[in-house]
Amino acid sequence: MKIMSVNAGSSSLKFSLFNMDQKEVIASGYFERVGLEGSFYTIKYNGDKIKEEVEMPNHTVAVEVMLDRLITLGIIKSLEEIDGIGHRIVHGYTYDHSVIITDKVIEDIKSYADFAPLHNPAHILGIEACKKSLPNVPMVAVFDTAFHQTMPKENYIYPVPYSWYENYGVRKYGAHGTSHKYISKRLSEIMNTKDLKVIVCHLGSGCSLSAIKNGICLDTSMGFTPLAGVMMGTRSGDVDPSIIPYVMEKEGLNAKEVVDMLNKKSGLLGVSEKYSDYRDIRKAMEEGDEQAILANKIFVNTVVKYIANYYVELEGIDALVFTAGLGENSSPARHDIVSKLGILGISIDEEKNNITGEEVELTGKDSKVKVYAIPTNEELMIALETLNLIR
């Protein structure tokens, strides 16, 4: 059975085509600058990488090009081989599971655009484009927020007027849920039990942590939007909200402009004033850049605070997992974070910590907690959710 995972952005379209019998990627692709001049795509399959410039004025054309290339490149013989399509949806409001896409679901996703204005409208474009080209193929919406809907009310209600929650949906929703769910599932396979208390650290350009017990999310660091939580590449994470009106007055900005700066010009970039990529931060640290050193210290501290918080909330943990681009590939970041967790009895094997980009147990000799680096696979998780529903 062949399942396709699709992630549509405002000017992009990513896909992975899986053979679900072996849970292997047959092909993957990235269509960029959709609706803009100079649009092009890259498709990887069979060890080859094909890149071509092609005019794609909208997502419908991008999907048509994608499906055409799957056939002309010999990846599939006909479109009838595609048994289902899973769409990544950033915000699903209170949907707590993936669903078959119907007209009602499409309208719901549209209505949640206020919560994810850069993402949900783009996802709709991807859904409608696939629906036009493959009208008889079942499609599934896989929500990034769904995994976190198991949080108890005391963990998702903010200490603000309760009417804001009742009237406007102001509450914690979280993000990266598909990744956190995949890691939780994979860890239970590795440790051969579902009876686990785990902290997952999804660290990349965007960062989120989650507290998971027996496969159920109890808490997560991102909030009403993905701006909350730990320091990130360009996002501030948690800050005193009084900063917003203060800076508005000082800089002559409106609220939207200040929030935009908190999203796009803060975090590592804001403190270092140069770098949003953690690799650049580390390089600058080696050269003695004091602001890069400061940015790293703040980043590590924010992550450690959440780990400590969730450790107490879970009343101890069985495992700490690092995932996503930074978590999987930055030995120095993992070292800096875990070196502050000795009070919790957590340590890593420094030699094993040098291994990057692959699944590895990092647990130190005297560590009371298992420590792992596990590459996330959101695309496979989307495909698995899709498979389960269409069956």
The residues that are catalytic are 144
Q: Which amino acid belongs to residue 5?
A: S
Rounded Cα–Cα distance for residues 89 and 97 (Å): 12
Q: Which of 323, 362, 325, 371 is nearest to 344 (CA)?
A: 371
182: DSSP letter: H
Rounded Cα–Cα distance for residues 331 and 354 (Å): 6
Rounded Cα–Cα distance for residues 98 and 100 (Å): 7
- Burial (0-12, 13-18, 19+ Cβ within 10 Å), 384: buried
- Burial (0-12, 13-18, 19+ Cβ within 10 Å), 374: buried
Q: Which of 316, 313, 257, 269 is nearest to 295 (CA)?
A: 269
Helices (H) and strands (E) in the chain, counts: 15, 14
According to DSSP, the residues that pair with 16 across neighbouring strands are 5, 28
